[in-house]
Amino acid sequence: MREWQKETVYQIYPRSFQDSNGDGVGDINGIISRLDYLQKLGIGLIWLTPMYRSPGNDNGYDIADYYQIDPVFGTMEDFENLLNEAHKRNIKIIMDMVLNHTSNENHWFQEALKSKDNPYHDFYIWKDPVDGHEPNNWVSKFSGSAWKYVPELDQYYLHLYDVTMPDLNWRNEKLRNKIFKMLKYWAAKGIDGFRLDVINNISKAKEMPNDTFVTPLDDGRNFYTNGPHVHEYIHEMYEKVFGPNNFVTVGELSSTPISEAIKYTNPDRQELSMAFTFHHVKVDYTNGNKWTLGQYKLSDLTRVLSEWQVKMNAHGGWNALFWNNHDQPRAISRFTNDTKYRDQSAKLLAMVEFGLQGTPYIYQGDEIAMKNAYFTDIKQYNDHESINAYNELVKNGVAEETAIKILQQKSRENARLPMQWNSQRNYGFTTGQPWLKPLHHDDYSVEKVLKMKNNIFDFYRALIFLRKHKEILINGQYKLLNSQDNSVYSYERINNKGKILVMANFTDQMQERKIANGFDLLLGNYEGIKLNKDTVTLRPYESVMLEK
């Protein structure tokens, strides 16, 4: 067992966490001011989304300078202070790193634009026009073509994401060495690991043929997801940076099958510590299409979670467990009930996650049951992906009102609302105008929740404690009970010392289920659990963790 496998990670989206200077944007000193709060919660690692110098077209995932802290967040001295203060509290810091692409304002790309002979030109992926148009039909994740024409060079550059974010050419050894040098710079600062953004896209097929569009997934990704050299590139990073520094690393692996995720995370291969995969948060995509008013079946959700639990465990892989992050709408609004049964729903999701095998991640606000933004006007959105999706929907004949409802359900902006600290103006996030304006539709805050009896914050603390002290939650085998149940998710964790049973009622109706004899209550999200000799009666959104 590796030490970090018992820990819990807390993801901070710095822009929305805590503003210390009144400019409306969260910053490093704001994070420092809340470290005692995070220590009280019991987390062992913080994952910080990017704080490098950036024009902000993708909220920091478009890096203009890998070596500089963006002034909107503070200074390098502030960052070093954050490292020191976190480490004093036995909290490790994982930095987000984007190695698939840079900002078009990055020095490398500015040089690449000067001429085809410039040494930096080959740091990016360029293709000549084909019959006067794009080299192929690949689609950007942000909609539209994945290619941008530069008339001065009579070439297209590849951008799998925003047009201002050109993809790097990992086949170029000089580029790789520049990247390794930069990673070592941050290692020398004393950080404890990296979360690697869209890392499974860094190796593109040498030939770049058209894709088929037979399904929404046949949009080009067949030729760059988990590409031909991705594992050797990551192993090279491990040998030069991750291994020597004993780093904790997590790769974002969208559209990745289990067989590949095992390769990325099996320690014998020396690549990554764990994997973020997203199949479970796509179960409400209609025919694979995200931008729809989707519904989900619990049996689909449990099937996906279970498949990853069983197969990753069997082959030495390791999951990063999550419901929420900066790119996902709030799970409490998506999968459960964020009104009448809000507290129970938040605790249910937490229990289901923490009972699984893998490293659990809490996204800021999970611990106080934050919910979706429910913006009512496209003007309230900042996120390029959401705005592009809205425009595309309306262009294709979807009513504006319906398009807004789709964004209310699916937009990642839902997770980017400023953290709700207290009942003051802007929830105590800032004394100025927040970069993303909350609607004050919600009376939940840290201040309020901490005063509640049996609150969600303390429930998370209990789960974090259990993971540190119950070995079965780390190494126990996973077993799904009743795969066809569309109301209650029941699973067991089993080792040679005993068994833990998790049961979660994902409905607003009472549910009764049979259980084997001999189980005792370990934790529940209601008072007065109705546990009989061989049955358990679950109230709306009730969850229990039983042990024998």
Report d(CA 36, CA 218) in Å as an integer: 47
Strands 45-48 and 126-127: unpaired
Report d(CA 59, CA 100) in Å as an integer: 16
**Which of these is catalytic: 236, 252, 271, 492?**
252
Strands 274-276 and 320-321: unpaired
Neighbours of 498 (CB within 10 A): 14
β-bridge mates for residue 156, sequence order: 127, 149
**Which of these is catalytic: 19, 27, 62, 197?**
197
DSSP-derived 3-state class of residue 521: strand
- DSSP codes, 396-436: TT--HHHHHHHHHHH-GGGGGSPP--SSSGGGGS-SS--SS
DSSP-derived 3-state class of residue 385: helix
Count how many Cα atoms sit within 13 Å of the Cα of residue 541 in the half-sphere of its side chain.
18
Contacts by residues 482-488 (CB-CB < 8 Å, ≥ 24 positions apart): 483/299, 483/302, 483/303, 483/306, 484/299, 485/298, 485/299, 485/302, 486/297, 486/298, 486/299, 487/298, 487/511, 488/298, 488/513, 488/538
Q: Report H helices in 429-498.
A: 446-451, 456-469, 472-475
197 is an active site residue: yes
Specify burial of residue 303 (Cβ count, 10 A radius: 0-12, 13-18, 19+). Answer: middle
- Please state at what angle helix 258-265 crosses helix 298-314, rounded to 10 degrees: 40
Q: Which residue reads 């500015």 in tokens?
A: 110
Q: How far is CA 155 from CA 119, 353, 547, in A?
A: 16, 47, 63
> Rounded to 5 degrees, what are φ and ψ at 504?
-135, 120
Any idea what DSSP says for residue 330?
-
170 in Cβ contact with 205 (< 8 Å): no
140 in Cβ contact with 163 (< 8 Å): yes
Residues marked active site are found at 197, 252
